[in-house]
């Protein structure tokens, strides 16, 4: 029966560890919006660069 106690204690320890890592992010609403806007600007720049590259490749292949 000793193994059952060890198993329970290991399960409890693991649940405490997971609960500590699952805490929500510490950003406020305005910080989240700034981060979202920053990521959106980066993605728009990447899309624009990819489109320009695609158009340049199309011009060269003609």
pLDDT at position 21 is: 77
For residues 50 and 30, give the distance between their C-alpha atoms in angstroms, rounded to a whole number. Answer: 30
Tens of each residue's pLDDT in the chain, 62 residues: 567 789 999 999 999 988 877 777 778 889 999 999 999 999 999 999 999 999 999 888 87
On whether the CB atoms of residues 24 and 16 are closer than 8 A, the answer is: no
For residues 42 and 46, give the distance between their C-alpha atoms in angstroms, rounded to a whole number. Answer: 6
């Amino acid at each position: 029966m000793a193994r059952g106690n060890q198993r329970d204690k290991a399960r409890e320890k693991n649940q405490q560890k997971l609960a500590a890592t699952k805490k929500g992010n510490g950003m406020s609403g305005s910080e989240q919006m700034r981060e979202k806007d920053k990521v959106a600007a980066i993605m728009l720049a990447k899309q624009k660069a990819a489109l320009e590259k695609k158009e340049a490749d199309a011009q060269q292949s003609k």
